[in-house]
């Protein structure tokens, strides 16, 4: 999958999408005279002296008083900006110390440099940030934390010999009251919170305090950490142990899952918000006190009510034993499950729209011994109407983008395959031909990092794969919308053009009384002009279709309106003076309605906000497309 920058440089789409955290705690250092070491391939022999950690080899250790010392033979990475060489500096101290000498050869060059604990041969610099890894499987060490965990860093000017390291991680400190505990799992209540994985270290300038920015890609991150006793051992009762994590705001708290050697499980849940800052540990001593170890099975709720419009509902199951769910209703479909069953797995279901009287279905939840009924009741929908649904694709593109013709073919193929179920619009960058003035607002909302990028129904990102594959991704997103978010609105369009004066009427039917948002855009088909194309050579006669020209509503984000009753309608009128260079015979109107997720899960590719596209409609200027509801 390829995306384009404005200067035409092709880049792999960056997996490091970051959300910043503040870092605190510093330790000052002093400089000693160089000592004799075997030089590496270039650079002078140098000694850097730093402050904090200690105890066993190759790790920094937390002392009983909470201070962090250097260990004998600890190693740090030195990487200079502008030079990819990762140099290993090793401490010369023979006992734990707050200050330690680090000896090695500096990488060549004249740039500022990073000093990062622990040393890792895979550490590197990407553009302006330093990349390293915090593991999600950690070894338990009584009273401290394990080797090479507590990441610390300094970013300094090129000739600096006196370093100030800054702790980048924090965590959770706990102890156990029961003997025989082999491992403990830390899991945030909010599954979107990352605790470990591939991280970037940033600094505003040389000498400033570095801070962590975590990747936003699940492929490189972990939202849980497992802490295990060394082979053949168990956690010592009463001793303090530490999960080392990235700084994180644990909204809704977290759970600790304790597992003994014999397989018995116990869970402690903290429900209040916990903010883990760099250099600090949230403390939960005697964490397993008062909770039972063993097998368990529980589920909730036992009765469920579903809106006649249909949509998503879920069951929560906590179990250390096997379980399965039997479905007796053909209008209910299981759509997925997430979470660890021992801590609580959420099983999601979708109910179809009910156009008849109230109905009841039964889900049967079974453990390894017994089965239990869960009654699902869907309200009377005999006064509802069946609505035709049209998904909306947004194609973010540019005429200078040499890879954009691939996604152009993708959207055309998706439209050919899906027919009226799929409509789309092409949004052109303002620094090329046919620039759309509101593209930056939408680009910010949908986190567009490069062209081309597609968005389906305001929920799902589609990247620039081969057209056949990407068109199937669009079809999958359309099916997901129809299954999980059945349309509750229908749009009717009527327009006329007298000279250059365009008048548009939009009618919206709503089956659910609530607040929506409406966006109306003028599009143009059949524009012949330039398009870069790296596969087939640039075109001067490329046909640009469904080009966004003008937002007719007051905001591209949508105008809010409220439907107060089931089946209520709202009408809207817009006018616009069409520029003379537009081809009046090729103009089209797009209108789309956004609905809030509300209490339903927001299934989306990124943090796009609280709204998704419920339905849309496209019609040529001068034609009428009535509301579609039976």
- The reply to whether omega before 265 is within 30° of 0 (cis) is no
Comparison of pLDDT for 115 and 214, the residue scoring more: 115
What is the phi/psi pair of residue 146, to 5°?
-80, 175
Left if phi > 0, otherwise alpha if psi is -120 to 50, otherwise beta: which for 207?
left
Q: Tell me if 2 is assigned to some domain.
A: no
- The model's confidence at residue 146, banded by pLDDT at 50, 70 and 90, is confident
| 331, 370: one domain | yes
- Say whether both 517 and 405 belong to one domain: yes
Report the C-alpha gap between 149 and 199 in whole angstroms. 13
- Dist. CA 245–CA 219, nearest whole Å: 18
Same domain, 323 and 455: no
Written as one string, the DSSP assignment of 465-480 is --HHHHHHHHHHHHHH
Q: Is residue 527 part of a domain?
A: yes
Mean pLDDT of 309-327: 92
Q: State the average pLDDT for the chain.
A: 87
At 408, give phi and psi (nearest 5°).
-60, -45
The answer to whether 22 touches 247, Cβ cutoff 8 Å, is: yes
3-class SS of residue 23: coil
Lowest mean pLDDT of 20-24, 166-170, 196-200, 411-415, name the range. 20-24
226/345 same-domain check: no
CA pair distance 367, 371, nearest whole angstrom: 6
Do 317 and 260 lie in a common domain? no
- The beta strand positions in 106-151, using DSSP E, are 113-117, 124-126, 129-134, 137-139
Could you tell me the two tokens for 151?
Answer: 């990441």
Same domain, 410 and 526: yes
Asked whether residue 34 carries a pLDDT value surpassing 50, the answer given is no
CA distance 112 to 205: 9
The reported pLDDT for the residue numbered 100 is 84
Question: How many C-beta atoms lie closer than 10 Å to residue 393's C-beta?
Answer: 27
Last residue of a domain, one of 227, 258, 284: 284
Does residue 371 share a domain with residue 230?
no
* Cβ contact 347:334 at 8 Å: yes
pLDDT bin (cut points 50, 70, 90) of residue 26 is: very low
Both 584 and 552 in one domain: the answer is yes
With respect to residue 505, please indicate whether it lies within any of the assigned structural domains.
yes
Pick the more confident residue, 85 or 590.
Answer: 590
The span from the CA of 297 to the CA of 246, in Å, is 32
Say if residue 65's pLDDT is above 60. Answer: no
Domain that holds residue 360: 297-378
Q: How far apart are CA 517 and CA 612, in angstroms?
A: 10
- The answer on 251 and 348 residing in a single domain is no
233 plus 301 within the same structural domain: no
Higher pLDDT, 355 or 56: 355
Q: How many domains, in total, are found in the chain?
A: 3
Cα angle 468, 473, 476 (rounded to 5 degrees) comes to 125
Residue ending a domain, among 334, 352, 378, is: 378
CA-nearest of 246, 185, 243, 195 to 218 is: 195
Query: Which band of pLDDT confidence, cut at 50, 70 and 90, is reported for residue 630?
Result: confident
Q: Is residue 59 part of a domain?
A: yes
Whether the pLDDT of residue 337 is over 60: the answer is yes
**Could you tell me the end-to-end alpha-carbon distance of the chain, in angstroms, rounded to an integer?**
42
The confidence score (pLDDT) of residue 454 equals: 98
Residue 4 lies in a domain: no
- Of 303, 477, 482, 465, give the one whose Cα is nearest residue 388: 482
Return the CATH number at 595.
Answer: 2.60.40.10
Kindly report, residue by residue over 77-122, the tens digit of the pLDDT: 999 988 888 999 999 888 887 788 899 988 888 889 999 999 999 8
Name which of 126, 93, 96, 283 is nearest 198 in CA terms. 126
Residue 258 in any domain: the answer is yes
Q: What percent of the chain has pLDDT over 90?
A: 68
Report, as an integer, the average pLDDT of 484-511: 96
256-290: pLDDT as tens digits = 999 999 999 999 999 999 999 988 899 999 999 99
The string over 280-291, giving b where at least 16 C-beta atoms fall within 10 Å of a residue's C-beta and e elsewhere, is bbbebeebbeee
In a domain, 239, yes or no: yes
Cα–Cα distance list, 598 to 457, 588, 595, 612 (Å): 16, 32, 9, 11
pLDDT of 149 > 90? The answer is no
DSSP 584: G
Q: Does residue 317 fall inside a structural domain?
A: yes
- Whole-angstrom Cα distance, residue 42 to residue 105? 7
Q: What DSSP string describes 193-249?
A: ---EEEEEEE-SSTTSPPEEEE---GGGEES-EEEEPPTT--PPTT--EEEEE--EE
């Amino acid at each position: 999958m390829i995306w384009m920058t404005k200067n035409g440089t092709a880049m792999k789409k960056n997996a490091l999408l970051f959300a910043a955290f503040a870092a605190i705690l510093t330790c000052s250092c002093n400089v000693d005279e160089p000592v004799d070491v075997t030089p590496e391939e270039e650079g002078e022999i140098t000694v850097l002296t730093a402050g904090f950690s200690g105890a066993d080899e190759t790790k920094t250790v937390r002392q009983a008083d909470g201070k962090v010392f250097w260990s004998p033979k600890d190693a740090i990475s030195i990487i200079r900006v502008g030079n990819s060489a990762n140099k290993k500096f090793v401490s010369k101290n023979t006992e734990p110390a707050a200050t330690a000498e680090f000896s090695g050869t500096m990488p060549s060059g004249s740039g500022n440099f990073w000093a990062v604990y622990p040393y890792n041969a895979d550490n590197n610099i990407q553009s302006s940030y330093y990349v390293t890894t915090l593991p999600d499987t950690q070894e338990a060490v009584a009273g401290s934390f394990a080797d090479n965990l507590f990441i610390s860093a300094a970013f300094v000017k090129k000739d600096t010999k006196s370093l100030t390291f800054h702790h980048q991680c924090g965590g959770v400190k706990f102890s156990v009251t029961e003997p025989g505990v082999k491992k403990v799992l830390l899991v945030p209540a909010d599954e979107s919170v990352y605790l470990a994985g591939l991280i970037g270290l940033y600094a505003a300038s040389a000498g400033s305090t570095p801070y962590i920015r975590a990747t936003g890609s699940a492929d490189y991150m972990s939202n849980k950490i497992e802490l295990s006793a060394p082979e053949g051992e168990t956690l010592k009762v009463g001793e303090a142990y530490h999960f080392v994590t990235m700084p994180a705001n644990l909204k809704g708290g977290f759970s600790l899952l304790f597992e003994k050697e014999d397989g018995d499980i116990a869970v402690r849940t903290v429900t209040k918000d916990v903010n883990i800052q760099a250099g600090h540990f949230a403390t939960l001593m005697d964490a397993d006190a008062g909770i039972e170890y063993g097998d368990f099975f529980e589920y909730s709720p036992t009765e469920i009510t579903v809106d006649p419009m249909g949509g998503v509902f879920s069951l929560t199951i906590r179990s250390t034993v096997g379980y399965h769910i039997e479905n007796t209703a053909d209008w209910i479909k299981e759509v997925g499950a997430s979470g660890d069953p021992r801590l609580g797995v959420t099983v999601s279901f979708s109910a179809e729209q009910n156009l008849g009287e109230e109905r009841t279905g039964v889900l049967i939840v079974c453990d390894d011994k017994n089965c239990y009924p869960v009654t699902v009741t869907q309200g009377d929908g005999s006064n509802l109407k069946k609505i035709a649904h049209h998904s909306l694709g947004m194609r973010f593109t540019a005429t200078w983008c040499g890879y954009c013709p691939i996604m152009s073919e993708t959207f055309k193929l998706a439209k050919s395959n899906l027919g009226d179920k799929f409509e789309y619009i092409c949004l052109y960058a303002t620094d090329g031909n046919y620039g759309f003035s509101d593209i930056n607002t939408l680009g910010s909302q949908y986190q567009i990092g490069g062209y081309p990028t597609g968005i389906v129904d305001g929920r799902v990102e589609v990247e620039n794969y081969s057209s056949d594959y990407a068109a199937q991704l669009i079809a999958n997103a359309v099916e997901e919308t129809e299954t999980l978010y059945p349309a509750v609105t229908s749009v009717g369009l009527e327009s006329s053009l007298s000279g250059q004066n365009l008048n548009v009427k939009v009618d919206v039917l709503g089956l659910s009384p609530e607040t929506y948002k409406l966006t109306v855009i003028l599009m143009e088909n059949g524009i012949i002009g330039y398009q870069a194309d790296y596969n087939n050579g640039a075109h001067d006669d490329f046909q640009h279709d469904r080009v966004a020209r003008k937002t007719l509503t007051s905001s591209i984000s949508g105008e809010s309106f409220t439907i107060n009753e089931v089946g209520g309608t709202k009408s809207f009128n817009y006018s616009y003076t069409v520029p003379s260079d537009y081809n009046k015979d090729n103009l089209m109107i797009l209108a789309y309605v956004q609905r809030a997720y509300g209490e339903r899960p927001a299934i989306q590719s990124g943090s796009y906000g609280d709204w998704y596209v419920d339905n849309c409609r496209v019609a040529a200027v001068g034609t009428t497309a009535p509301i579609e509801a039976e």
